[in-house]
Amino acid sequence: ALVGGGLFLTSRLREFYLNTQQGSDFDFATGQVLIYGAALVIMLGIATAIGVLFVFAVRWRRR
């Protein structure tokens, strides 16, 4: 869900930048924060998936 949310946010940001004619400093700052935030959400989703797989692998090995 986190990876999907990050990808959705990234696609919405692309539309945001394509549709703006003359943005304010606040728009620029918000866009920059959201770009880095979207990347962090994607990385968090990938790290969560790897962690879950690691826990399953450890439990599977103990059987």
* Residue 52 C-beta-side C-alpha neighbours within 13 Å: 6
SS (H, E, C) 4-52: HHHHHHHHHHHHHHHHCCCCCHHHHHHHHHHHHHHHHHHHHHHHHHHHH
- Tell me the pLDDT tens digit for each residue of 21-44: 666 676 777 778 878 888 888 899
Report the predicted TM-score, pTM, of the whole model to 2 decimal places: 0.60
Confidence of residue 3 (pLDDT cuts 50, 70, 90): confident
